[in-house]
Structure 1
């Protein structure tokens, strides 16, 4: 494993792993189009011979310091269908499956921020809410892929 294992890097390692796992959760869905959840992860890792407890999964997703064996990370990567190096190597590139979904993930996350702002500011400050939602709506709109403008030349 190529992770830095010094005391100072434990927190960073946990945060990087959490970010990577949460990006997998946002970007990759199961065959029916639903996001993965613990029951799917737990069953999938057991099917390939590795048990990931609900506690370990929660701690991993939340960036809490823990020792995560390479076998566990390989099993999780296998469930998601990505190269295990993505989770094993701190500097590994994004899997192509994830990179292809980044525009959708960006829109989803911006929408979540917009929804939070609406809930938090609707009663307190309607003018600021309007300004923030306009900015976020524009960001969401600009994040959408442009329609394919190629013409059929026969």
Structure 2
């Protein structure tokens, strides 16, 4: 099994209720979570359709953010975290994995004041039946990132 790209999530958190953003992003996204996270509010999203690369997902999310109403954009601007979380599943092979984010996607992420995060999941996080040695018995967080 080789290391491979999974998807790109949008993760935001704020002291404010994030429902205006959730409602306006609409059917173009799947809301993975929206609610309290400790003392703050957190929301996590995926773009509908998983055949997109990370750059395409980032551009799609940015287009949706740019189309937010002034009220929802105000909530967005007050978020303390605006992250595009690019997820990979680690492979069992010894090959490196390189993926680039295109400049248009990077510029769009900067324009909406979002950061890029890369998360590499161990093989057992996605396929629990995969045996990878002693670490396979470690618990894996299933909550939003």
Which protein is richer in helix relative to its size?
1
Q: In which range does the TM-score fall when normalised by the shorter chain?
A: under 0.3
Which structure has the bigger radius of gyration? 1
TM-score by length of 1: 0.26
Decide which structure has greater strand share: 2
RCO greater where, 1 or 2, for CA within 8 Å and sep 6 or more? 2
Give the TM-score normalised by structure 2. Answer: 0.27
